[in-house]
Amino acid sequence: MTILDKIINDKKNEIAFRKSVFPSSYWESSPLFERKTISISNLIRKSKSGIIAEHKRRSPSKQTINNSLTVNEVAEGYENGGVCGMSVLTDGKYFGGSLEDLTIARASSNIPLLRKDFIIDTYQIIEAKANGADLILLISAVLNKKEILKFSTFAKKLGLEVLLEVHNIEELEKAIMPSLDLLGVNNRNLKTFEVDLDISKSLVDKIPDEFIKVSESGISNVKTIQELKTYGYQGFLIGENFMKTDNPGAAAANFIKQLENEI
């Protein structure tokens, strides 16, 4: 059994428990459920950097990354740093996140927020909307085509944008559909956690131009983004590179300034 298999099995149990305690109607009564969302797609199209910065305390591959900062510190720093959006890990067991992190980030900033989790149920999409998310992540590696269509269509009805993540051509081919906004190529293999930037380069031509093209994971320097831009990528999800510092917001600001000065 791979790490990904273990995560999904645990996620199923977690969702069953959460449903028993907090039914969908509980989340639908949240004041944030009626909130008008912010389009990250529009911001990325207008941006010179396309940076989506991530809040991540730990991961199965790196263990502890940064446990010393509050979510509001990170969210405020990222917003002041000029990012296009913020990715918030909400998985608890493997990444040290929570839905509360998403809510706090929403209260602390006015930038698009991505709920980054292993979504396998529409219930999680309702949770995302009720806790301040503007878009959700769907992972092609753990969903079939019917599920991707179901979840992305449901998210769009709630006013959320959808980032679909792929790792290879098979995952990409089953995922292309009008209910998606952004197509992300994750350079990290979710089964082995090895990183290879050539994955982004090899798949970009297979992604239709109507989608925002996002490269994820393993991006740590400006030159990498400059190169990926020549391939057609517009968005870049960066987490560990900022979060491993004492001041992720300042790190993001410096990174963006350097990138924009060299474009």
Residue positions annotated with a catalytic role: 54, 56, 116, 165, 186, 216-217
CB 172 within 8 A of CB 166: yes
CA 169, CA 158: separation in Å to the nearest integer?
A: 29
CA 227, CA 217: separation in Å to the nearest integer?
A: 15
Dihedral sign, Cα of residue 36, residue 102, residue 49, residue 212: negative
CA 93, CA 248: separation in Å to the nearest integer?
A: 23
CA 22, CA 72: separation in Å to the nearest integer?
A: 25
Number of C-beta neighbours around residue 182 at 10 A: 24
HSE-up of residue 114 (Cα within 13 Å, Cβ side): 29
Strand boundaries in 187-243, DSSP class E: 212-216, 235-238
CB 197 within 8 A of CB 226: no
